[in-house]
């Protein structure tokens, strides 16, 4: 062996096609401008601007002072699992056994990581509807799987086309991923669509991974969980979380629900990834999640998002070159900018430079969406009004 050979680090092959998040990229650009004292209005992060409900914070401080500072169960704090199970039953009428069918994860992101690591083999095909949250594609790629993307169409209100889905199923298809309500389109899938999807999953013996992190944020008609279709219970993994609904993005807590037969595989990944999520955070959350003040704070946040959505949509409707399918859930507007003559990336770059408004280019959510941008309305109404005014000025100057 050669002595003193120069060290040249090469990252693992499995990472070579994995990309950094375009959302993080825009957040970094915005933060850099803010640090220079520029008055940037950011519609980038999918992050509530509200504080975590006070009862949860108080209960967590108590848990810390009571020394819940040691390892906990790999599954998650039992009382938290029990309360998730109860809430889920109240919402859907379906029971997941808190002891062997619920896993607490470090945020929804870790839940995605675990699910894909536990299920996807090299060469497996995974159907992902685009535009989509960036983690699915990158995790499937990391596992050597093949992403089969099915672009959803604005003219179909970004709803899933079942016939097109069926055409994309092959002998190698392992899993379908569905994010309902959807980031970035805000689409809430209809019960009929989900029923049809469940039928395909059953017919072809597939897995269905349903990311339902925005389940409480459906404004116009009721949200349907994939759990409503018991015929695919043994083929479903459901992701839930606290980051969005409870304004707890920094706490890094989420969960997975699945049939007892699939659970050990998820647990195996979790054991070696994190051992367990921080104990006092889980104890605090478990003790306060169902207190009346927490419940009413959450209700009020949801109402506020709905009002903000309406405000943003109404201001958008005054800009005739920007078009958006009305989102029914989550907290995003996915806007077609093609009538301005710009692509999403150029639109976003120029808008940030000229008007100090930050948005995410649609291409980050799927290559077919290069003429879209995403705006998050998880910001104050004041920022929405000021930011949308700046966008209108920007677009008017484009056409001069």
Query: Which residues in this chain contact ligand PLP in the complex, by CB under 6 A?
Result: 46, 107-109, 133, 179, 183, 211, 213, 241, 243, 249, 254
What is the closest distance, in whole angstroms, from the C-beta atom of residue 376 to ligand PLP in the complex? 9
Q: In the bound complex, what is the minimum distance in angstroms from residue 43's beta carbon to ligand PLP? A: 14
CB of 142 to ligand PLP, least distance (A): 16
Question: Considering beta carbons, is residue 263 or 332 the nearer one to ligand PLP?
Answer: 332
Report the 3 state secondary structure along the chain.
CCCCCCCCCCCCHHHCCCCCCHHHHHHHHHHHHHHCCCCCEECCCCCCCCCCCHHHHHHHHHHHHCCCCCCCCCCCCHHHHHHHHHHHHHHHCCCCCCCCCEEEECHHHHHHHHHHHHHCCCCCEEEEEECCCHHHHHHHHHCCCEEEEEECCHHHCCCCCHHHHHHCCCCCEEEEEEECCCCCCCCCCCHHHHHHHHHHHHHHCCEEEEECCCCCCECCCCCCCHHHCHHHHHHEEEEEECCCCCCCHHHCCEEEEECCCCHHHHHHHHHHHCCCCCHHHHHHHHHHCCCHHHHHHHHHHHHHHHHHHHHHHHHHCCCCCCEECCCCECCEEEEECHHHCCCHHHHHHHHHHHHCEECEEHHHHCHHHCCEEEEECCCCHHHHHHHHHHHHHHHHHHCC
For the CB of residue 65, give the shortest distance to ligand PLP in the complex, in Å.
26
- Distance of closest approach, residue 45 Cβ to ligand PLP, in angstroms: 8
CB of 137 to ligand PLP, least distance (A): 12
In angstroms, give the least distance from the CB of 212 to ligand PLP.
9
Tell me the closest approach of the beta carbon of residue 341 to ligand PLP, in angstroms: 30
Closest C-alpha to 24, from 101, 133, 120, 103: 133
Comparison of 48 and 343: residue with beta carbon closer to ligand PLP: 48
Residue 264 Cβ vs ligand PLP, minimum distance, rounded to whole Å: 23
| Nearer of residues 109 and 288 to ligand PLP, judged by Cβ | 109
Identify which of residues 105 and 235 has a Cβ nearer to ligand PLP in the complex.
Answer: 105
**Complex with ligand PLP: residue 129 or 263, whichever CB lies closer:** 129
Nearest Cα to 141, choosing from 175, 169, 107, 116?
Answer: 116
The distance of closest approach from Cβ of residue 10 to ligand PLP in the complex, given in angstroms and rounded to an integer, is: 29
In the complex with ligand PLP, the residue whose CB is nearer, 244 or 342, is 244
| Sign (positive or negative) of CA dihedral 103, 261, 238, 86 | negative
Judged by beta carbon, residue 213 or residue 316, the one nearer ligand PLP is 213
Q: What's the CA gap between 154 and 368, in Å, rounded? A: 12
Task: Please give the C-alpha separations between residue 389 and each of 75, 106, 238, 381, in angstroms, as whole numbers.
Answer: 48, 38, 39, 12
Cis (ω within 30 of 0) for the bond into 141?
no
């Amino acid at each position: 062996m050669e002595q003193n050979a120069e060290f040249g680090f090469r990252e693992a092959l499995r990472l070579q096609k994995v990309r950094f998040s375009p959302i993080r990229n825009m957040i970094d650009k915005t933060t850099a401008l803010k640090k220079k004292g520029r008055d940037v209005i950011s519609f980038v992060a999918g992050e509530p601007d509200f504080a975590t409900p006070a009862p949860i914070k108080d209960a967590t401080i108590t848990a810390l002072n009571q020394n819940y500072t040691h390892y906990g169960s790999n599954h998650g704090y039992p009382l938290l699992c029990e309360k998730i199970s109860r809430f889920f039953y109240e919402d859907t009428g379906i029971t997941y056994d808190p002891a062997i069918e619920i896993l607490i994860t470090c945020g929804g992101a870790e839940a995605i990581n675990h699910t894909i690591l536990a299920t996807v083999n090299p060469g497996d095909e995974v159907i992902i509807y685009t535009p989509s949250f960036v983690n699915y594609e990158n995790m499937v790629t990391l596992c050597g799987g093949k992403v089969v993307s099915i672009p959803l169409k604005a003219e179909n209100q970004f709803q899933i086309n079942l016939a097109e889905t069926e055409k994309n199923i092959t002998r190698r298809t392992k899993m379908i991923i569905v994010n309902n309500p959807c980031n970035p389109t805000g689409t809430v899938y209809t019960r009929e669509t989900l029923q049809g999807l469940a039928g395909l999953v059953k017919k072809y013996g597939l897995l269905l991974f349903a990311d339902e992190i925005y389940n409480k944020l459906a404004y116009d008609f009721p949200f349907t969980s994939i759990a409503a279709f018991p015929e695919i219970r043994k083929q479903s993994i459901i992701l839930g979380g606290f980051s969005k609904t409870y304004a707890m993005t920094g706490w890094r807590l989420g969960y997975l629900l699945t049939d007892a037969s699939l659970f050990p595989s998820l647990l195996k990944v979790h054991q070696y990834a994190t051992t367990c999520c921080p104990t006092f955070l889980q104890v605090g959350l478990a003790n306060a999640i169902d207190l009346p003040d927490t419940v009413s704070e959450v209700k009020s946040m949801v109402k506020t998002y709905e009002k903000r959505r309406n405000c943003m949509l109404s201001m958008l409707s005054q800009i005739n070159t920007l078009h958006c399918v009305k989102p029914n859930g989550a907290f995003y507007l996915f806007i077609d900018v093609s009538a301005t003559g710009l692509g999403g990336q150029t639109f976003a770059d120029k808008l940030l430079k000229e008007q100090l408004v930050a948005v995410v280019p649609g291409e980050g959510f799927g290559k077919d969406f290069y003429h879209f941008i995403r705006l998050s309305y998880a910001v104050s109404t004041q920022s929405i009004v000021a930011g949308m005014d700046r966008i209108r000025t920007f677009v008017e100057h484009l056409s001069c």
